[in-house]
């Protein structure tokens, strides 16, 4: 994800958000007042999966940073697939695993497309 997009999402105002950047009363939804220019994309993703989790969580200084749960949701993984606390992964490990994964619907589409292509030796 582009740094500018991460900044825009982690600094976006959320319903129920108070001035200290906590997000304890976050209400899910994809309206433009929450997600800005990303509202349409968020709505499409929510229609396919589940409501979007908050995009940010506070770091140790209280500043917003990308939430692994949001990254997990963007990759269309089941909830807590990587972020379940009982798994015992650090935030860095979670983001590394999520970032190195494949969006399953995209992979399935690619495989379906490739399955119907002619073999290269027949094309040449």
- Could you read off the pLDDT of 65-94 as tens digits, one per residue? 999 999 999 999 999 999 999 999 999 999
How far is residue 74's CA from residue 83's CA, in Å, rounded to a whole number? 13
How far is residue 42's CA from residue 108's CA, in Å, rounded to a whole number? 21
Q: Is the pLDDT of residue 100 over 80?
A: yes
Q: Where are the beta strands (DSSP E) in the chain?
A: 56-58, 64-66
Residues 6+ positions from 2 with CB-CB distance below 8 Å: none
Q: What integer pLDDT is reported at residue 23 of this predicted model?
A: 45
pTM score: 0.72
Block residue for tokens 């993984």:
77
- Could you read off the pLDDT of 8-60 as tens digits, one per residue? 666 654 444 433 334 434 445 566 788 889 999 999 999 999 999 999 999 99
Yes or no: say if 49 and 69 are a contact pair by the CB < 8 Å rule: no
Q: What integer pLDDT is reported at residue 72 of this predicted model?
A: 97
Instruction: Tell me what percent of the residues of the chain surpass a pLDDT of 90.
Output: 61
């Amino acid at each position: 994800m582009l740094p500018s997009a991460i900044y825009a999402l982690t600094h976006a105002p959320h319903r129920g958000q108070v001035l200290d950047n906590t997000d304890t009363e976050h209400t899910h939804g994809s309206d433009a007042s929450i997600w800005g220019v990303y509202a349409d994309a968020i709505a499409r993703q929510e229609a396919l999966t589940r409501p979007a989790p908050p995009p940010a969580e506070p770091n140790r200084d209280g500043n917003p940073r990308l939430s692994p749960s949001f990254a997990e949701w963007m990759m269309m993984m089941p909830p807590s697939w990587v972020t379940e606390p009982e798994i015992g992964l650090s935030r860095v490990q979670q983001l590394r695993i999520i970032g190195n994964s494949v969006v399953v619907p995209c992979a399935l589409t690619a495989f379906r497309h490739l399955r119907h292509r002619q073999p290269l030796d027949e094309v040449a």
